[in-house]
Chains A and B, each alone.
Chain A
Amino acid sequence: EAGVTQFPSHSVIEKGQTVTLRCDPISGHDNLYWYRRVMGKEIKFLLHFVKESKQDESGMPNNRFLAERTGGTYSTLKVQPAELEDSGVYFCASSFGQPRLEQYFGPGTRLTVT
C-alpha cells in the first residue's frame, strides 16, 4: 500500500509569488489534514477535510492560503502571495475511520520564501 505522498519535496520561491503544494492521501482515506512546522517550532494544524468538505479550517493563518480537495481524493494548498513567514515544512496526513487511532503522515514539502 502506497503511503501519503507530497509534491514537491522542496520549493524555493520569491516573496510575492504563488506556490501550490499537493498531497495524495492513502487510497480510501476520507480524512485529510494539513499541518505546518516553522523552523524550530511546533507542528501546527492548518485544516482538516472529510472527503471534499472542510471539516475544520481553524488553523489557516490568513486568506493567502487556499486549500482544496476536489473529488475527495488529492488535495492542494495554494499560498498566494507568499510571504517570508510562510517558510517552513508543510505536512499532509490522512486517516480512515476513527481519526483518533492514527494519522499517516507524508514526508512534507519544505517551502522556502526568499
Chain B
Amino acid sequence: AQTVTQSQPEMSVQEAETVTLSCTYDTSENNYYLFWYKQPPSRQMILVIRQEAYKQQNATENRFSVNFQKAAKSFSLKISDSQLGDTAMYFCAFMKGAGTYKYIFGTGTRLKVLA
C-alpha cells in the first residue's frame, strides 16, 4: 500500500523569504503522479503543482517549485518570495498512474507567513 508522510506539522516563514515543505512517500509503483494542494483558511483546497513520476525535470509554477527525488521517494515543495497569501495548510498527495484515481494524502503542513 502507498503512504505519504509529511513530517512537519507546522512551519513559519518571514514574508519574502523562501521555505521548503517536505514530503516523502512509499510505493512499489513505477508510474505515478505527485501533487501539492493548498487549503487557505476557510477556503477550498486548490492545486499548487503536479509532477509526473516519469518526468525527470522538476515542475515549477511561478514561485512554487518541487524537488522530486524519485530514488529517495521525496517530493518537497519550495515556495520562493513567500507572501502573506501563502498562509495555508499544504497537503502532499500521491496517485497511481493506472487504475484508481484516488489521492493518497499526507497529514498536511500548516504554513504561516509572517509579516
Which of A's residues lie within 8 Å of B, judged by CB? 3-4, 31, 33, 35, 40-45, 48, 55-56, 58-59, 91, 95, 99-103, 105-108
In the complex, 25 of the A-B residue pairs with CB atoms within 8 angstroms, ordered by the A residue number, are: A4-B44, A31-B101, A35-B103, A40-B107, A42-B106, A42-B107, A42-B108, A43-B103, A43-B108, A45-B104, A48-B101, A55-B101, A99-B101, A100-B33, A100-B101, A101-B50, A102-B47, A103-B47, A103-B103, A105-B37, A105-B44, A105-B45, A105-B46, A107-B44, A108-B44
B residues 61-115 in Cβ contact with A at 8 Å: 91, 95, 97, 100-108
Contact A56 to B100, CB < 8 A, known contacts A4-B44, A43-B91, A107-B43: yes
A56 touches B97 (CB 8 A): no
Which of B's residues lie within 8 Å of A, judged by CB? 4, 33, 37, 42-47, 50, 91, 95, 97, 100-108
Contacts between the two chains (Cβ within 8 Å), count:
54
A78 to B37, CA, bound (A): 27
B52: min CB distance to chain A, Å: 8
Contact A106 to B44, CB < 8 A, known contacts A42-B108, A100-B33, A100-B97: yes
Contact A102 to B50, CB < 8 A, known contacts A43-B91, A91-B45, A107-B43: yes
